[in-house]
Amino acid sequence: MVQVPQQPLPIDNYREKDYKSEMLNETAEASSDFILPLLRFQKEWLAWALNQEQIYRGGVLADEMGMGRTIEAIALVLAKRELQQNGFVFSQSPLPSSSEALPLIEGTLVICPVVAITQWVNEIDRCTLKGSTKVLVYHGADRIKNWEQFSKYDFVITSYSIVESECRNMSNWRDRNCEGPGFVRQAKHSKQVKKNKSNAMPALHAVKWQRIVLDEARYIKDKRSKTTQAVFALESTYKWALSGTPFQNRPRELYTLIRFLQINPYSYYFCKHCNCRVLQHRYELCSDCSHDFRDHFNWWKKVSVRRDFLDREELDYYETLYKEFQAKYNRYVRENTMGDHRFEIVGLITRLRQVTNHRYLVEFSQKEELNAEDLASSAADKQESGICHKPEEDPVDLTSNKDVRDDDDKIMVKYFRSSRILKNIELENFQTSTKLEALREEIRFMIERDGSAKGIVFSGFSLFVDLIYYSLYKSGVSCVRLNENMSQDARDAVVHRFNVEPDCRIFVMTFMAGGIALNLTVASHVFIMDPSWNPALELQALDRIHGIHGIGQYKPTRFWFLLFSILKLKK
């Protein structure tokens, strides 16, 4: 059952003021005749579109290619039809140039390129309950000539070339039928009347449609073209423009979309409510214009941006740490000892990166640093490589051909469960962070969109992996974790559990532990919590859910990068 607010909602109630994010809050369910499940962003668009028709009678849908613009438009038509059938009354204030003399058709006219006509027919058939929706393809020489036939169909699909042709015929029809007092038919007009077997007005322009949908609306980017003028001549109650590229060469191409939607005062070439109509030097518009028509646009990208901000406590902690490191850095510059302290400087930058993840990483890393000397002496005792003369990362007893760490599997598992950082935290007073909260919310959205979806969370810091695992566990998300210190048996166990158990939703790991040699196509979402110094590690991490050339992955994949952007960190 489709539900919309009884009164039009102000834009700010369901859309954030940050237009770059385009995060919509309200959702609407599709019609009962619409059998294809909608994704969350499509439900958000449907709610926005229903409200948009109440307020502005249309808008521009500028989603990227592959985001389902056709499906969203079909869902809107069926949702509006169901609301009307259930007695929902919509305000009917006419558009400025709307003609009351034309008969009203309760159908939607879809204008698209010729190559897209079949696609529209197939999508409508795939998305709707069989027999619930009637479609007419208005194309070709044998198309119907009587406009009254349009009332039998929910969708009338035609092409831009047909609209232009019929508009040209309409002009000729008006010339032929303009017989006022004292009219004398010229020889040219007489030949046109004899040539045309039917003297009826062209069908598309003879009616007022309930809705007009322009697919690939860039076809009308030139306001002087005959195609654009033919589209402008059509009448409808609601108007929508669908295009992944609202403008290609210059912003003025947006004008034709605004003109088609009849958004006043912008449908005039210059704004009528301020001095925008006064041209300045080099034909630039007035820079003081306060009018904004972004409320009429909705766009989703495959790469969408979610904007979260550190709370005051986190930001203050970061600022304090930054000033401390900056003072140390400036001292090295004055003393001309940058080269001698280059590794320390990299460490300071790493600390700043860690604090954007969680302040615990910096606070408790000091305890790790106190044990650095013990770790170094322990590493010196390890077997050295005969090639690079460095301690081997995975020492092996060559005489017995047995991994020395096999004997310590149980100890390593126990050590993993008692995390180095968690055992130093009062878990009763565990403090979350902005990144952790954003991750938890995106995981919740993932499960809402697809009840069987699984995800992988990557971080470059093993301590942060432990914090993520605990935070998700505390919020009721079933998950497993993997780090480079786990034995092969423990590693195989957690991988098997994630692949087999449907309730195990999240796999948390470091880049080094799980970035390679894992096939996790059971997952369809990847969350990168912090960027890696090596971009190749990120690409390898993303490949965990793709498999080999995409084989084995049957779901749409989503990649989330949780980045902290601040000018000081970039410097």
pLDDT digits (tens, 9 = 90+) for 276-325: 444 443 334 455 554 545 555 555 555 565 666 777 788 888 888 888 88
Looking at the chain, the domain(s) classified CATH 3.40.50.300 span 422-570
Give the model's confidence band at 484: pLDDT under 50 very low, under 70 low, under 90 confident, else very high. confident
Residue 52 class from Cβ within 10 Å (0-12 exposed, 13-18 middle, 19+ buried)? buried
The pLDDT assigned to 202 comes to: 75
Residue 382 DSSP code? S
Asked whether the beta carbons of 529 and 459 are under 8 A apart, the reply is yes
Task: Give Cα separations from 289 to 273, 276, 279 (angstroms).
Answer: 9, 6, 12
- Give the pair of three-digit tokens for residue 337: 């000892």
Asked whether the beta carbons of 395 and 404 are under 8 A apart, the reply is yes
Q: Is the sign of the CA dihedral 108, 109, 111, 114 positive or negative?
A: positive
- Assign 214 to helix, strand or coil: strand
Residue whose entry in the numeric block shows the structure tokens 């499960």: 447
The pLDDT assigned to 395 comes to: 37
- Assign 251 to helix, strand or coil: helix
Question: Poorest-confidence range of 249-258, 438-447, 521-530?
Answer: 249-258
C-alpha 495/C-alpha 405 separation (Å) is 20
Task: Give Cα separations from 312 to 354, 435, 527, 568 (angstroms).
Answer: 17, 14, 25, 17
- Give the pair of three-digit tokens for residue 90: 């919509």
Instruction: Give the residue among 377, 378, 360 at the shortest CA–CA distance from 420.
Output: 360
Residue 253 DSSP code? G
Give the number of other Cβ atoms within 10 Å of residue 408's Cβ: 13
pLDDT at 121 over 80: yes
Beta-strand pair 402-403/396-397: antiparallel
Indicate the pTM of the whole model.
Answer: 0.54
Asked whether the beta carbons of 372 and 343 are under 8 A apart, the reply is no
- Give the pair of three-digit tokens for residue 451: 């009840």
Helix ranges (H only) for 371-433 are 372-380, 409-417
The pLDDT assigned to 188 comes to: 57
**For 207-258, how does the pLDDT look when each residue is reduced to its tens digit (9 = 90+)?**
999 999 999 888 898 888 999 999 998 999 999 999 887 776 776 777 888 8
Architecture of domain 422-570: 3-Layer(aba) Sandwich (3.40)
The whole-number average pLDDT for the span 415-425 is 62
- Assign 569 to helix, strand or coil: helix
Query: What is the number of residues in the chain?
Result: 571
Give the number of other Cβ atoms within 10 Å of residue 169's Cβ: 17
Q: Mean pLDDT across the chain, nearest whole number?
A: 74
C-alpha 42/C-alpha 67 separation (Å) is 9
312 contacts: CB under 8 Å, gap ≥ 6: none
What whole-number percentage of the chain has pLDDT above 70? 66
C-alpha 222/C-alpha 174 separation (Å) is 25
What whole-number percentage of the chain has pLDDT above 90? 17
The pLDDT assigned to 169 comes to: 76
The pLDDT assigned to 401 comes to: 37
pLDDT at 3 over 80: no
The pLDDT assigned to 507 comes to: 92
E-assigned strand segments in 36-116: 58-61, 104-112
